[in-house]
Amino acid sequence: MGKRLKPLKLLVICVPASIVLSALIVYATRSRFTCEVTGIDNNLDLDEHDVQEGKDDLRSNSTWNPCTFDICFNLEKCPLTRPFATYVYNDLLTSSSNENPFSPQLLVDVLKETGSYTSDPTKACVFFSILWNREREIENVGHLETQIHSLAQWGEYGENHILVELSTDQSPGRSMLEGVSTGKAIIARSVISPAKPFSTGFDILLPPLRTAEADSMDLLSPLLPVSRDTFIHFHGEHSPHQHPGSGAITPQDIRSLQQLLKGKERVDIQLQCQQPATGKTKRAVEGQWMLCGDQKSRLELCSKSMFSLVPSPGGANAGTGVGIYTRLIESLMCGSIPVVVGVGVLPFDEVIDWSRAGLIVPSGRYSDILYILRSVSSGDIQNFRLKGRHLWYTYFSSPLRVVQIAVAIVRSRTLHPPPPAPHFVGKQLLYFPAPHHKQITSPSFTNSFTAYSWSFWNDIPGPLFSYPSSPFNPGLHFSRLNEVAISHSASQSAKGRAAIESTFKKNFLVNVPPEQFTVVIITYKRNKELMEGLAHLKGIPSLNKVVIVWNNEDDPSADLKWPDIGIPIVVVRGKGNSLNNKFLPYKEIETEAVLQLDDDVLMAPEEIEFGFRVWCENRERMVGFFGRSHIYNFKDKRWNYGKTNCMFSMSLTGCTFIHKTYMYLYSYLMPKEVRARVDHIMDCEDIAMNFLAAHLSRKPPMKVCTNSDFHCAGCKANISKKKYFFHERSVCIQFLTRIYGYQPLLYTQSRTDPETTEIPFSE
């Protein structure tokens, strides 16, 4: 029996022991093999901990130096459910003065317009504080740190704060923030120095400013002709230094370039300023190239040159000092292509692609500079100048714009979409609904969080707004077919039609929704013609709505007999009695396509429908029925307006399809001088729109064939029959050419005819 007990004893001991052992093993290796973690009760809020978990690391200075966006910015204050809100501290960190009248209040006004401003600091995502980099403020640097740290929302590290340090070309070559502890704040400034290094991707490099006002477009030089008097140009005076950093361009280097080009090309190089050199203060940084004279004289000089040299002072943080950036921006203004040698950081280069506006050359390539310059073709030069002008206009044309862009850059980092371009809310005078009409509105703002891209920042229309839709972004587009087109096909029975539609969709993978267009008619005291024109719009399948812009000071009288066309009609007021009202982006327009119609134009419904379908295939162009042209008068050396038989370059907006985005761009992006001129002479709004469309799309308008003639023979006299009609429009063309810097209109000889052969669908 003792023998039997032994195995039992073993069993009694071993089994629990092994159970315990195996439990221990499982427990110990659990996290290694199953990686389980306790469950979570609270869904959404817990996700925000991912920033908190690393907090212990963040307290020690070294982990967040250099700062990156992930480490140093607190996104909890910027939820996507609220609009992106900024708060601007009222007082400048440095004292204001008459020289630099830029005040924070200007910025607040601009931000309010875009809906990005909040006066409640607890609701704000970022906090802006502005200071001026000025010579006499340098003595107060000690104060500066205490002032910064005592900002109301600074907290411990100044998270989500942006210190904007504005410099002019009179500013000293050093940053005011050297030696000042700025914590986790983003610093937006124009001057970088080794004592205050620049955190790439976090800090923002601003261009230097001149005054608080926007630079006038009169300062710009025309983009053409391509060739200019001098080949390359450089005026500057060097501040000598003992130990030039690597990559410095010294006066020797420039003199050798001058020698090399002697007798081959005309150069304009001066290494000693005739007028006193700008920026030659006692704080000028060694190695800097100082500017000569004032902006006006510099622009005049560089407008005669094809290339402008922008040399680096060398050193670890190549690019110190405002001289370089002033040179760069001024070369964009005068159309002289900047040749930037050895400069590490350029303004806003986190978003701007500078290589499309100039030649960015590493300093080691200076020896081959002639080779590079000689290889730039005329096409390249034109592209550089066009892009340079676009960049200047979008990013650098005024101090307000500069700070707006800084706001936009920070906003893009938080992934907030850009604010929507404001549509125009006019006073609605009348509204006639059509209850039986099937309305199809176009989808809007379909790329809220996918808007930011290289093209968004560098191409038109620019980074300040998002538009409901864009004519330039087709995606994987298939042919857009109207369902209505299918229903007009052979079979008349409902069943047959449905069968054809489904077969068509199955075979052609048509997954793009059908669309309609809106008619916009501007009218002034011509009620009889208006009613007749409206009646003519009956029976167009793709018509969504008719918007009548009422320029008449008096409201429409009650005894007007509005026709019933089965389509909703809205009568709305613009801004006063202005022809620009034609192109305001009315809130009532809910489609991408807009047909601009004059009140006296009578077109057949088939022609309009066909014109719309042509537009669907050419969304970035103006598609119209009546063409006009611009002609160069060699005797007087200027452009004239006219009508030619064989080719045309403009489409009269008396009957033209355009994309709604062009109306936004006309009203907000186009230089205001143009709209002012249209108001002044009560004419030329159609020429202005043609210039805009040609400039943005670089394509001529499309002409759809029609049997009608433009002018209504038996109608009362209208604007177009004024005496000096052609002369005035010619003057318009010359004015617009000067504004754009070149002649953007393009000729075309082709015309669209409808395909009339019927092709029956096979099942």
Partner 1 sequence: MGKPLRLLVTCVPASIVLIALFVYATRSRFTGEVTRIDNNQDQRKVDEHDVQEGVALETNSIALEGSLMVPSHSGKDDLRSNSTWNPCTFDICFNLEKCPFTHPFATYVYDDLLTSSSNENPFSPQLLVDVLKETGSYTSDPTKACVFFSILWNRESERENVGHLEKKIHSLAQWGAYGENHVLVELSTDQSPGRSMLEGVSTGKAIIARSVISPAKLFSTGFDILLPPLRTAEADSMDLLSPLLPVSRETFIHFHGEHCPHQHPGPGAITPEHIRSLQQLLKGKERVDIQLQCQQPATGKTKGAKEGQWMLCGDQKSRLELCSKSMFSLVPSPGGPNAGTGVGIYTRLIESLMCGSIPVVVGVGVLPFDEVIDWSRAGLIVPSGRYSDILHILRSVSSGDIQNFRLKGRHLWYTYFSSPLRVVQIAVAIVRSRTLHPPPPAPHFLGKQLLYSCPPPQADYLSFLHQ
Helix (H/G/I), strand (E/B), else coil: 656: strand
Residue number with CB closer to partner 1 (76 or 109): 76
The verdict on 195 binding partner 1 (CB under 8 A) reads no
Which of these segments, 314-322, 388-396, 485-493, 575-583, binds partner 1 (CB under 8 A)? 314-322
Residue number with CB closer to partner 1 (211 or 250): 250
The verdict on 321 binding partner 1 (CB under 8 A) reads no
The verdict on 200 binding partner 1 (CB under 8 A) reads yes
The interface with partner 1 within residues 509-548 (CB under 8 A) comprises 509, 511
The verdict on 65 binding partner 1 (CB under 8 A) reads no
CB of residue 121 to partner 1, shortest distance in Å: 20
Marked catalytic residue, from 120, 218, 686, 709: 686
Decide the pairing of beta strands 638-642 and 627-633: antiparallel
Residues 570, 95: Cα–Cα separation, whole Å? 53
Residue number with CB closer to partner 1 (121 or 443): 443
CB of residue 416 to partner 1, shortest distance in Å: 10
CB of residue 478 to partner 1, shortest distance in Å: 10
Q: Which of 106, 108, 141, 370 binds partner 1 (CB under 8 A)?
A: 370
Cβ pair 187, 65 in contact under 8 A: no
Token digits of residue 264: 């081959």
The interface with partner 1 within residues 679-738 (CB under 8 A) comprises none
Q: Nearest to residue 207, comparing CAs of 161, 166, 162, 163? A: 166
The verdict on 73 binding partner 1 (CB under 8 A) reads yes
- What is the DSSP secondary structure assignment for residue 738, as one 8-state letter? H
Residues 758, 688: Cα–Cα separation, whole Å? 40
Helix (H/G/I), strand (E/B), else coil: 159: coil
- Tally the C-alpha atoms within 13 A of residue 679's C-alpha that lie toward its C-beta: 14
The interface with partner 1 within residues 151-170 (CB under 8 A) comprises none
Q: Which of 18, 61, 63, 97 binds partner 1 (CB under 8 A)?
A: 63
The verdict on 79 binding partner 1 (CB under 8 A) reads yes
Q: Classify the C-alpha dihedral 419-622-481-486 as positive or negative.
A: positive
The verdict on 668 binding partner 1 (CB under 8 A) reads no
Three-state SS for 418-454 is: CCECCCECCCEEEEECCCCCCCCCCCCCCCCCCCCCH
CB of residue 340 to partner 1, shortest distance in Å: 12
Residues 195, 179: Cα–Cα separation, whole Å? 7
CB of residue 260 to partner 1, shortest distance in Å: 5
The verdict on 194 binding partner 1 (CB under 8 A) reads no
Q: Which of 321, 335, 344, 574 binds partner 1 (CB under 8 A)?
A: 344
Token digits of residue 306: 């094809």
Cβ pair 456, 405 in contact under 8 A: no
Decide the pairing of beta strands 569-572 and 543-550: parallel
Q: Please tell me whether the peptide bond between 513 and the residue prior to it is cis, using omega within 30 degrees of 0.
A: no
Q: Which of 22, 378, 479, 633 binds partner 1 (CB under 8 A)?
A: 378
The verdict on 74 binding partner 1 (CB under 8 A) reads yes
CB of residue 438 to partner 1, shortest distance in Å: 22
Q: What does the per-residue mask of binding to partner 1 show for 18-57, with x meaning CB under 8 A? A: -------------x--xxxx-xx--xxxxxxxxx-xxxxx
Please identify which residue in the block is written with the tokens 């450089």. 234
The interface with partner 1 within residues 231-260 (CB under 8 A) comprises 243-250, 252-253, 256-257, 259-260
Burial class (CB in 10 A: 0-12, 13-18, 19+), 211: middle
Cβ pair 208, 133 in contact under 8 A: no
Residue number with CB closer to partner 1 (439 or 446): 446
CB of residue 258 to partner 1, shortest distance in Å: 10
The verdict on 361 binding partner 1 (CB under 8 A) reads yes
Residues 530, 507: Cα–Cα separation, whole Å? 44
CB of residue 327 to partner 1, shortest distance in Å: 17
Q: Nearest to residue 365, comparing CAs of 337, 342, 384? A: 342
Q: Nearest to residue 599, comparing CAs of 665, 519, 542? A: 519
Which of these segments, 12-20, 74-82, 84-92, 614-622, binds partner 1 (CB under 8 A)? 74-82
The interface with partner 1 within residues 101-130 (CB under 8 A) comprises none
CB of residue 315 to partner 1, shortest distance in Å: 8
- Annotation marks residue 294 as catalytic: no
Residues 196, 181: Cα–Cα separation, whole Å? 10
Helix (H/G/I), strand (E/B), else coil: 72: helix
Residue number with CB closer to partner 1 (30 or 698): 30
The verdict on 61 binding partner 1 (CB under 8 A) reads no
The interface with partner 1 within residues 418-447 (CB under 8 A) comprises 443, 446-447
Which of these segments, 65-73, 119-127, 147-155, 272-280, binds partner 1 (CB under 8 A)? 65-73
Cβ pair 339, 232 in contact under 8 A: yes
Q: Nearest to residue 217, comparing CAs of 335, 351, 358? A: 335
Residues 745, 9: Cα–Cα separation, whole Å? 103
Residues 541, 564: Cα–Cα separation, whole Å? 15
The verdict on 225 binding partner 1 (CB under 8 A) reads no
CB of residue 192 to partner 1, shortest distance in Å: 14
The interface with partner 1 within residues 450-509 (CB under 8 A) comprises 450, 452-454, 473, 475-476, 509
The verdict on 263 binding partner 1 (CB under 8 A) reads no
Decide the pairing of beta strands 161-166 and 186-189: parallel
Q: Report, as residue numbers or ranges, the catalytic residues.
A: 686
